[in-house]
A and B are shown apart, each in its own frame.
Chain A
Amino acid sequence: MKNESLTVVENKTIAAKTHEMTLSGPLVDAIDQPGTFLHVAVPGEDLVLRRPISIAAVNQGAGTCAIVYKEEGDGTERLARCRAGDQLEVLGPLGNQGFPVEEPLPGDDVLLIGGGVGVPPLYFATCELVKRGVSVSVILGFQTAAAVFYARAFNELPGCDVHVMTDDGSNGRAGTVIDALNERPYAPDWLFSCGPRGMLRAIETNAADSKTHGYVSLEERMGCGIGACFACVCETNDGASYRKICRDGPVFAFKEVVL
């Protein structure tokens, strides 16, 4: 975990209100696990909290990493206005538990499911998996065609089978990622997922009693991002304890925490 000024290399719109920002700086050296995130200080003194954004990709050779973010409010709108050459204060990589991309074996059936801006960390995970010779299926869910991003990038990865679902059928097939999941004849050996809480809950329920090693990445409003303020907690499934999403996660095994 480092705190550094990173340089914006590129900041471009890749879908409706969705932007991909490439950042460079020595902090990038420390990024090695998909699922971890950056805590980005937004320009402007009136915004006192940083914004947690997942790492979408890393290019160690070029010393850059990418984040993909959706304009939701004041902070992400200001990020969208950043230009190449601007500096952003970034704390990261944060999170001690990312997707366990080291574990699946090349013959395993690995499924990744991403919804909306839950897709970016799964892209990083997929890159790491295919690097190890593991082939993966990905199901990407979006509301409508205008919101779709990264479908081609996934398609270009070797051994990656991509299914795009849109709510209105304007791109890929009509339906939700759950529909696509339920059409599969077998439960996967590994299932990594990131997206809205409701989607994760449905995935966990649908894949629960199988042989599947399932993992979900969670979001919660954050203060410190490092485990010091107790803002981002979630309960463990036995109801007896809690986990901090920023510190103990953000990725948790199925049934480790209450969704």
Chain B
Amino acid sequence: METDPRLYVTLPGLPMKNPVMPASGCFAFGREYAELFDLEELGAVAIKGTTGEARIGNPTPRVAETPSGMLNAIGLQNPGAQAVRDEELPFLANYDVPVLANVSGSTPEEYVVVVQTLNDAPNVGAFELNISCPNVKEGGIQFGTDPDAAAALTEAVKRVSTKPVYVKLSPNVTDVTAIARAVEAAGANGLTLINTLLGMRIDAGTGKPVLANEKGGLSGPAVKPIALRMIHDVRQGTKLPIIGMGGVQSAEDVIEFLVAGADVVAVGTANFSNPFVCPTIIRELPEWLDKLDVAHIGALRWQGEKI
């Protein structure tokens, strides 16, 4: 595909041809979507959350639909860092697209091990610390809700990582900006937000929760206003680049996220409703630039002055 130079955005570790990447957990390691379109059309790829050892995840049902959204409680199922290093990343290395490696763990030591294992994979451009998975007991949410714990984890990972480190913030907090500032001070190179919002559904017919795990993470268009508000708040509190996400499903949504303060966006749930959503958005962005009469997509990003 012809790349429009107006769409290039370079973030720490991630030289992107355009500001759109699939979000972690919604794209596995790229193999399935590679059967549908050329992965080189994407700005980057965020891979499935990776832990130290393989994880089998939660019991099924693991997903439930909600109005304009979905709940998931996959439970970080993944083959473990070594298998991701040896069996999954080499596949993505066939494509000229930078990888954002999503890292999860129950202890700071586990995050460090995953980062050490994936560090030398040449196509890993940067790490994304998932300190916000609401679906497993030890999924890192404790690091995402306490500024000191988030900062300590960021520091520990920064000590071993040779790649830039993004921290993926949890929306399940009162003051997301406090966490953003804490990880910035601890040396984070960028931020990702938002992860899913903790939610629940009950089957009125049986009186039982729909998900086997009872609770799960809410994502999709239903969370977009929350994502925009949080990105907007965080933009005012930090200078770090922001990968924005939460309900993005169109080029118009991308513009909204950039104007709120994101540098690039990631697309999660929308891949399930339309597997071609990322390339479709990317193709539509130039028309938006024409319409808004901007010379480069970066010009749309709100710089953080008070509105």
Which residues from A are CB-within-8-Å of B63? Answer: 49, 221-223, 229, 231
Q: Contact between A48 and B28 (Cβ–Cβ < 8 Å)?
A: no
A186 → chain B closest CB, angstroms: 35
Name the CB-closest residue of A to B270. A48
Q: Contact between A49 and B32 (Cβ–Cβ < 8 Å)?
A: no
Q: Does B225 contact A (CB under 8 A)?
A: no
Q: Which of B33, B61, B77 contacts A230 (CB 8 A)?
A: B77
Name the CB-closest residue of A to B61. A221
Question: Number of B residues contacting the other chain (C-beta, 8 Å)?
Answer: 35
- Kindly identify, within residues 1 to 53 of chain A, every residue whose CB is under 8 Å from any CB belonging to chain B: 1, 3, 41, 45-50
The B interface is mostly helix, strand or loop, or mixed, namely loop
Interface contacts (Cβ under 8 Å), in number, total 96
Q: Contact between B64 and A221 (Cβ–Cβ < 8 Å)?
A: yes
Which residues from B are CB-within-8-Å of A46? Answer: 67-68
* CA distance in complex: A50, B63 (Å): 12
Q: Beta-carbon contacts of A217-230 to B below 8 Å, as 1s and 0s? A: 00011111111111
Name the CB-closest residue of A to B219. A48
**Which size bracket describes the interface of A in this complex?**
20 to 34
Name the CB-closest residue of B to A245. B60
* CA distance in complex: A89, B70 (Å): 19
Q: Does A70 contact B (CB under 8 A)?
A: no
Q: Does A165 contact B (CB under 8 A)?
A: no
B259 → chain A closest CB, angstroms: 22
Binds A, one of B12-20, B85-93, B183-191, B273-281: B273-281
Q: Beta-carbon contacts of A173-203 to B below 8 Å, as 1s and 0s? A: 0000000000000000000000000000000
Which residues from A are CB-within-8-Å of B65? Answer: 47-49
Q: Contact between B272 and A223 (Cβ–Cβ < 8 Å)?
A: yes
Q: Knowing A41-B273, A48-B65, A221-B63 are in contact, say whether A1-B28 is a contact too (CB < 8 A).
A: no
Q: Does A251 contact B (CB under 8 A)?
A: no
Q: Does A134 contact B (CB under 8 A)?
A: no
B273 → chain A closest CB, angstroms: 5
Which residues from A are CB-within-8-Å of B272? Answer: 48-50, 223-225, 229
Which residues from B are CB-within-8-Å of A227? Answer: 28, 31-32
Name the CB-closest residue of A to B75. A230
Q: Which of A41, A229, A230, A235 contacts B274 (CB 8 A)?
A: A41
Name the CB-closest residue of A to B33. A228
Which residues from A are CB-within-8-Å of B221? Answer: 45, 48
Which residues from B are CB-within-8-Å of A1? Answer: 35-36
- Listed A/B pairs (16) with beta-carbon separation below 8 Å: A1-B36, A41-B273, A48-B68, A48-B69, A49-B63, A49-B65, A50-B273, A221-B60, A224-B26, A226-B35, A226-B275, A227-B28, A228-B28, A230-B25, A233-B57, A234-B60
- Which residues of B come within 8 Å of A, CB atoms? 25-28, 31-33, 35-36, 48, 56-57, 60-65, 67-70, 72, 74, 77, 220-221, 269-276
